[in-house]
Amino acid sequence: MEKAIDRQKVLLQHLRPSFTSSSVEDIESSISASICSAGDSAAYHRASVFGDDVVIVAAHRTALCKSKRGGFKDTYPDDLLAPVLRALIEKTNLNPSDVGDIVVGTVLAPGSQRASECRMAAFYAGFPETVPVRTVNRQCSSGLQAVADVAASIKAGFYDIGIGAGLESMTVNPMAWEGSVNPKVKTMAQAQDCLLPMGITSENVAGRFGVTRHEQDQAAVESHRKAAAATASGKFKDEIIPVKTKIVDPKTGDEKPVTISIDDGIRPNASIADLAKLKPVFKKDGSTTAGNSSQVSDGAGAVLLMKRSIAMLKGMPILGVFRSFAAVGVDPAIMGVGPAVAIPAAVKSAGLELDDIDLFEINEAFASQFVYCRKKLGLDPEKINVNGGAMAIGHPLGATGARCVATLLHEMKRRGKDCRFGVVSMCIGTGMGAAAVFQRGDSCDELCNARQNETYNFLSKDAR
């Protein structure tokens, strides 16, 4: 044992080229630190020791269903959220009283109403009254923002365990402006653009950046094809939590008990020929149709995060590691370009380069913006939305971020050593973008941020 400790000390000393003292005391005082100056620009930065990493131990979602006519049309929002919260407890044997906070991303419901529903859902799921709940709204990135908020709170030391979740019932709360609009908005173009229908911003992106109707329809067909293949092969089974609910016959009022476990908006037989027949929705001579836009959906998702040292102490499986998050602002008139700005920001913040990212989950709000962002960043199509995206699966606004995290991390786990880093990103109404970087849970150790360096030529076991 002593020889092993001595070897570790020598190795750590070598990994610190600026370290000049040879005293045992100095070595021992730095043995827990993990910032490594031997790493190059592609090695992510660490500001704390290995055990302080924020990790994801579980991530689950409901199926996503078409609003007003899908499997959750008669399901209360709190009955969507409760099953995924309960799953985090049951699948990890978590003591629910250990959770420091539950943060739920949600968009359309009145704030006080949704906050109450989320608190109710936590009780239904088995959380005690001592566990607080709050909601957060950054529109389409609300679910991802909830995850980022919990990660930041754990990093700050507010608590060691938290849940970032997302919830939206677009059946119960359809998209609509309530109340009057301040007439002052007419005096400023950018403020006016915040009120543009999202479909018009899609047309703006397509027109300004030359994204053709054929490219958009092709992207939609690919989304359905990949989602159908993922469903048929059972890829979503690990992330989807079946929900017991009811379907009410609108004519007779009869209730039928059902269990929903499959996304019901996927069209396996979608074709370019069929999509080409659809008329533009937002502009007479436009290219944005119901077929190449995200689906209006109902659903929920939840992500359990904790400090790595706590996860290890509790023997929890580590599904992923939260590395960085970035939210950016862009022109409201072309809000769909948000991921093209947010992704490089988040990747840089993680100390990585775009080429280091093995998988992307980019929300397909509209095919126009999805195609633009993919082309603008020069991303390999084989790395993006490999199991389909929102045009096929659906986009329940507040839940999408949590859904994407679950989909990404489970796919990274399946791919194993061939998939180390992943990104979740989406555009945001009123002109923003958000992105977060995750690392596969079993792909890192205390020395994994050490890469080959021309000056020092030191390596860790996974140096490239």
- Tell me the pLDDT tens digit for each residue of 168-187: 999 999 988 888 899 999 99
In this prediction, residues 345-372 reach a mean pLDDT of 97
pLDDT of residue 443: 75
Is residue 36 scored above 60 in pLDDT? Answer: no
Q: What is the mean pLDDT of the chain?
A: 89
Q: Are 402 and 301 in contact (CB under 8 A)?
A: yes
Fold that domain 50-174+188-440 belongs to in CATH: Peroxisomal Thiolase; Chain A, domain 1 (3.40.47)
pLDDT of residue 179: 83
- The DSSP element (H or E) to which 190 belongs, if any, is helix 189-193
Q: What is the pLDDT of residues 398-407, one digit of tens each?
A: 999 999 999 9
Q: Are 33 and 290 in contact (CB under 8 A)?
A: no
Query: CA dihedral in degrees (417, 418, 424, 425; nearest 10)?
Result: 160
pLDDT of residue 48: 52
Which residues are 65's β-sheet partners? 298
pLDDT of residue 459: 42
How many CA atoms are closer than 13 Å to the CA of 49, on its beta-carbon side?
7
**What does 292-356 look like in DSSP terms, one character per residue?**
TBPPPEEEEEEEEEEEHHHHHHHT----EEEEEEEEEE--GGGGGGHHHHHHHHHHHHTT--GGG
pLDDT of residue 464: 39
Residues 6+ apart with CB under 8 A from 146: 103, 104, 105, 136, 164, 165, 166, 401, 402
Is residue 447 scored above 60 in pLDDT? Answer: no
Residues acting as catalytic residues: 140, 395, 427
- Give the global pTM: 0.86
In this prediction, residues 51-68 reach a mean pLDDT of 96
In whole angstroms, give the CA distance from residue 109 to residue 130: 25
In this prediction, residues 101-112 reach a mean pLDDT of 96
Domain ranges, ordered by start, for the chain: 50-174+188-440
pLDDT of residue 442: 84
Residues 6+ apart with CB under 8 A from 117: 76, 77, 78, 81, 109, 167
Is residue 417 scored above 80 in pLDDT? Answer: yes
Q: What percent of the chain has pLDDT over 70?
A: 85
